[in-house]
Amino acid sequence: MSRLRLLSAAALLAVAANSHASSFIVTTDTVVDGLKASSNATSDVVSSSFRDDKIVRAAHDDAASFVASEGTIRGVKLESALDHIRQQAPQLNATDAQLAQAILTI
């Protein structure tokens, strides 16, 4: 009887461990997919709306520096472009990093 209980406990632990791992993977995938969709939507709005905008196009190098430095380097042209984008599209709720990445796609 003791051996049966031991095997049952081991089986329950194995099932519980697998369910936690798969739950974590599903949660992680959901969060990553949500962030990706948000970033793609931001890129689509910015790149389509501001493709020919001189202020935004001039900020390309500053945006690259900003992204490469993980936000440490903030050029004047990038700051101007971020302000310009936010004035032209106030409904757009995007971080500076998302907007900088979107500028790079233009």
- pLDDT, tens digit (0-9, with 9 covering 90-100), for 72-105: 999 999 999 999 999 988 888 889 999 999 888 8
pTM for the full model? 0.55
Measure Cα distances from 20 to 16, 27, 31 in Å.
6, 10, 16
- Give pLDDT tens digits for 54-78: 998 999 999 999 999 999 999 999 9
Task: Please report the pLDDT score of residue 77 as a whole number.
Answer: 95
Q: Are 88 and 50 in contact (CB under 8 A)?
A: yes
Q: Domain of 51?
A: 2-105
Residue type at 89 in one-letter notation: A
Q: How many domains does the structure of the chain reveal? A: 1
Judge whether residue 31 has pLDDT over 70: no
d(CA 70, CA 65): 8
Nearest in space to 88 (alpha carbons), one of 51, 36, 40: 51
Q: Are 49 and 104 in contact (CB under 8 A)?
A: no
